[in-house]
């Protein structure tokens, strides 16, 4: 019994923290590399690697205790965010809330920026292994930052009696409709981002704002389908969230591509054919 409870706990907990599931992360990394402008065409030879390794940060969690908080931020935990004045500097936030509380609420924006800065350095150093590692990781964190449930305090519906909504949405529904999501990815302009830190916080705030759509859809689909664990539930969940889900995926792809492009420009546009 004890072992069974433990296994259930591990399964439930790991589901909570995955973020778009394997298929969603692979799609974002793959489409972002494909979107890079002509001057970065040499980069696309690494597309398969970056796609395959899009889920490495999730897999690292079991060996590295510091990894899990990098995948989310319960940003509406902070009264400053709810008042439209988020404290974005981590040191300032820690001064008010303490290090362990800030870590507990998640470190996603700072982990994303840190990975972005490491990618710039990897481009400067012309180190292929580091470029591949930090690009793959960056795509994962950007993907998580566009999954609304990785940006909110009620991340698993636990505060509104909707427990399990996280996995129902980001894994069960997304996996079932991944072909439709893929077909929705449209070519968008990749741009140089001048203030990546603010950019990251902005897309996280934007993802957070989508939460009522997801939670309302879950209630509606479960009620209409008579359960939250059948195909009818997933069909209705998709029907009600398709629009915002496709927007989140499209912006994740474009934002990730823009961050790769910006890191490369910041590094002085190194010749990618010369990176070994």
Instruction: Return the number of the residue (19 or 139) whose C-beta is nearest Zn ion.
Output: 19
R_g of the chain, CA atoms, integer Å: 19
Choose one: 69-77, 92-100, 124-132, 256-264; the region binding Zn ion (CB under 5 A): 69-77
Choose one: 44-52, 143-151, 216-224, 239-247; the region binding Zn ion (CB under 5 A): 143-151
106 binds Zn ion (CB under 5 A): no
69 binds Zn ion (CB under 5 A): no
Closest approach, Cβ 265 to Zn ion, in A, equals 27
Instruction: Return the number of the residue (144 or 255) whose C-beta is nearest Zn ion.
Output: 144
144 binds Zn ion (CB under 5 A): yes
**Contact with Zn ion (CB under 5 A) among 16, 19, 118, 228:** 19
Closest approach, Cβ 149 to Zn ion, in A, equals 11
Give the nearest residue (CB) to Zn ion.
19
Instruction: Return the number of the residue (40 or 68) whose C-beta is nearest Zn ion.
Output: 68
Instruction: Return the number of the residue (118 or 166) whose C-beta is nearest Zn ion.
Output: 166
71 binds Zn ion (CB under 5 A): yes
26 binds Zn ion (CB under 5 A): no
User: Count residues contacting Zn ion (CB under 5 A)?
Assistant: 4
Choose one: 34-42, 70-78, 87-95, 191-199; the region binding Zn ion (CB under 5 A): 70-78
Distance CA 245, CA 214 (A): 9
The binding site for Zn ion (CB under 5 A) comprises 19, 58, 71, 144
């Amino acid at each position: 019994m004890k072992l069974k409870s433990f296994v259930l706990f591990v399964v439930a907990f790991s589901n909570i923290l995955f973020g778009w599931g394997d298929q969603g992360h692979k799609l974002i990394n793959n489409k972002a590399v494909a979107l890079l402008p002509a001057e970065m065409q040499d980069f696309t030879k690494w597309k398969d690697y970056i796609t395959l390794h899009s889920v490495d940060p999730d897999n690292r969690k079991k060996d590295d205790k510091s990894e899990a908080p990098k995948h989310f931020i319960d940003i509406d935990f902070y009264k400053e965010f709810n008042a439209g004045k988020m404290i974005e500097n981590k040191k300032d936030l820690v001064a008010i809330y303490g290090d362990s509380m800030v870590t507990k609420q998640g470190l996603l924006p700072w982990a994303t920026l840190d990975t972005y800065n490491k990618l710039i350095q990897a481009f400067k150093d012309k180190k292929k292994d580091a470029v591949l590692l930090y690009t793959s990781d960056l795509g994962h964190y950007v993907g998580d930052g566009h999954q609304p449930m990785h940006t909110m305090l009620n991340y698993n519906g636990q505060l509104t009696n909707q427990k399990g909504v996280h996995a129902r949405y980001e894994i069960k529904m997304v996996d079932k409709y991944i072909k439709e999501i893929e077909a929705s990815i449209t070519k968008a302009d990749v741009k140089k981002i001048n203030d990546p830190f603010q950019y990251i916080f902005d897309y996280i705030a934007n993802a957070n704002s989508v939460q009522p759509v997801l939670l309302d859809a879950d209630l509606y689909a479960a009620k209409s389908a008579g359960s939250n664990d059948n195909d009818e539930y997933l069909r209705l969940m998709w029907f009600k969230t398709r629009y915002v889900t496709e927007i989140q995926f499209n912006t994740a792809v474009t934002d990730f591509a823009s961050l790769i492009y910006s890191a490369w420009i910041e590094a002085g546009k190194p010749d990618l054919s010369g990176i070994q």
